[in-house]
């Protein structure tokens, strides 16, 4: 059984390395990625041109969502820098220990030598010349003293220079560490402020939505959000076909029912369920804010921005018409054009876009058609 699994694993690796996706990755030019980014940016701008009082609240929600996402991403980067600096400082302190031990040993030897010189009248070379009658013995002893003195002097100077360098490095790391602390504290404070603002805007949005006192008005608003997503996906498909940024003909399809989950959590809304007369085209995985959102399969990020109704959204193209969608994120960690592999972190869980609960919106599309994403994920 184990042998069979190993053979299957090796076959999968071979297929991955020889897949058209990796060949296309080598051929994809920077101009193609720039073209994709421009297309998506233009589309995002068009989708963001909203009208009416409801739209003004949505624009404010978008602004705060994006600001919080950017700050969260920056905090993540600074935290990593802080960990690296602390690790480097610990390493320097470990390297310093043997140098200090060596210095103590050299100091003992130097003390013995100085005492001996003192006993011989501070002039060991002259003392040798006066007390020794054998010229060869005198010559050997003089060379010995010279060699000992030179060796101790060189070692002491080398250690002193190394100690100076270590002290300078520690000071530089402490300075950088303090700078990171200050920056992180500043960003945390701003993030807290923006989180409060977003909560205020969400309350305002909730109050405004209550004013939509008829089912037809609610339906119209939700349909508009869905239409924006459909328009976005259509434009993305057209852009992918136009610039040919790469595809993987079979890998995604062949892994149906075996893909890893994009985040842990219970399903709070299922595919095909209806709410206010709108059919849900994905699933909502309840999860705490800030938890990682990972790619379910390798591919290229083709959208990484805010979209009304879905918040901070990432879309990954897996080739052959397959797309995976990850919405309501707190922050986006991958940009348009980036290649990702299964398990790579794309974002962090949130409730952006006005969602009333923290969790991940996850969907799978094939050539524009929605499909139950749970059928693609591995059983657990």
**Averaged pLDDT for residues 300-325:** 92
Euclidean distance between CA atoms 150 and 127, whole angstroms = 19
Q: How confident is the model at residue 278, as a pLDDT?
A: 75
122-132: per-residue pLDDT in tens? Answer: 555 555 555 55
210-248: per-residue pLDDT in tens? Answer: 755 655 555 666 677 777 787 778 777 777 765 555 545
Residue 154 has pLDDT above 60, yes or no: yes
Q: Which of 94-98, 125-129, 233-237, 347-351 has the highest mean pLDDT?
A: 347-351
CA distances to 61, 93, 132, 162, 167 from 88, in Å: 41, 9, 55, 16, 13
Closest CA to 240 of 32, 29, 20, 19: 32
268: pLDDT confidence band, cut at 50, 70 and 90? very high
Q: How confident is the model at residue 349, as a pLDDT?
A: 96
2: pLDDT confidence band, cut at 50, 70 and 90? very low
167-219: per-residue pLDDT in tens? Answer: 877 787 788 788 888 888 887 888 888 788 878 877 877 766 675 565 555 56
Q: Which of 144-148, 166-170, 199-203, 318-322 has the highest mean pLDDT?
A: 318-322
**Averaged pLDDT for residues 307-311:** 88
Domain chopping of the chain, boundaries? 2-47+214-375, 49-211
Q: Which fold has domain 2-47+214-375?
A: Glucose Permease (Domain IIA) (2.70.70)
Instruction: Give the lowest-confidence range in 52-61, 268-277, 344-353.
Output: 52-61
Long-range contacts of 332-337 (CB under 8 A, 24+ apart): 332/69, 332/73, 332/304, 332/305, 333/73, 333/76, 334/301, 334/304, 335/301, 335/304, 336/33, 336/36, 336/37, 336/40, 336/301, 336/302, 336/303, 336/304, 337/33, 337/36, 337/37, 337/300, 337/301
Q: What is the CATH number of domain 49-211?
A: 1.10.287.1490
The more confidently predicted of residues 356 and 12 is: 356
Residue 134 has pLDDT above 70, yes or no: no
For residue 293, the cross-strand partners are 347
Q: How confident is the model at residue 36, as a pLDDT?
A: 64
Instruction: Give the lowest-confidence range in 75-84, 127-136, 337-346.
Output: 127-136
The more confidently predicted of residues 288 and 141 is: 288
Residue 97 has pLDDT above 90, yes or no: no
110: pLDDT confidence band, cut at 50, 70 and 90? low
Instruction: Give the lowest-confidence range in 89-98, 235-244, 290-299.
Output: 235-244
Residue 5 has pLDDT above 60, yes or no: no
User: With pLDDT > 90 as the criterion, what percentage of the chain qualifies?
Assistant: 25
11-59: per-residue pLDDT in tens? Answer: 443 444 444 544 444 455 566 666 666 666 666 555 555 444 456 777 8
Instruction: Give the lowest-confidence range in 97-111, 114-128, 349-363.
Output: 114-128
Q: How confident is the model at residue 166, as a pLDDT?
A: 73
């Amino acid at each position: 059984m184990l042998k069979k699994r190993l053979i299957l694993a090796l076959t999968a690796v071979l297929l991955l390395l020889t897949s058209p996706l990796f060949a296309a990755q080598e051929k994809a030019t920077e101009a193609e990625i720039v073209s994709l980014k421009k297309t998506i940016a233009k589309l995002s701008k068009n989708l963001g041109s909203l009208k009416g009082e409801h739209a003004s609240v949505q624009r404010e929600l978008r602004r705060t969502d994006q600001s919080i996402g950017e700050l969260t991403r920056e905090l993540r980067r600074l935290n990593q820098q802080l960990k690296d600096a602390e690790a480097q400082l610990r390493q320097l302190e470990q390297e310093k220990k043997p140098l200090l031990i060596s210095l103590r040993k050299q100091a003992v030897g130097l003390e013995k030598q100085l005492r001996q010189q003192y006993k011989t009248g501070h002039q060991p070379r002259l003392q040798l010349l006066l007390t020794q009658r054998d010229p060869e013995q005198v010559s050997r002893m003089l060379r010995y003293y010279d060699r000992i003195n030179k060796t101790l002097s060189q070692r002491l100077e080398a250690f002193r220079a190394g100690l100076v360098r270590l002290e300078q490095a520690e000071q530089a790391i402490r300075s950088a560490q303090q700078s990171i602390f200050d920056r992180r504290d500043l960003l945390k404070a701003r993030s807290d402020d923006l989180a409060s603002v977003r909560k205020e805007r969400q309350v305002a949005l909730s109050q405004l939505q209550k004013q939509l006192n008829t089912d037809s008005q609610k339906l119209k608003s939700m349909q508009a959000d869905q239409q924006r997503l459909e328009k976005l996906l259509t434009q993305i498909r057209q852009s992918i076909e136009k610039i040919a940024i790469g595809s993987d003909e079979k890998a995604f399809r062949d892994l149906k029912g075996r893909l890893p989950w994009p985040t842990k959590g219970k399903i709070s809304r299922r595919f095909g369920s209806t709410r206010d007369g709108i059919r849900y085209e994905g699933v909502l995985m309840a999860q705490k804010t800030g938890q990682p959102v990972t790619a379910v399969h390798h591919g290229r990020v083709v959208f990484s921005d805010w979209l009304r109704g879905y918040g901070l959204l990432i879309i990954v193209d897996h080739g052959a018409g397959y797309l995976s969608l990850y919405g309501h994120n707190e922050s986006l960690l991958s940009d348009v054009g980036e290649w990702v592999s299964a398990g790579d972190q794309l974002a962090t869980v949130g409730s952006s876009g006005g969602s009333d609960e923290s969790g991940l919106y996850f969907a799978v599309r094939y050539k524009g058609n929605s499909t139950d994403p749970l059928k693609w994920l591995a059983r657990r």
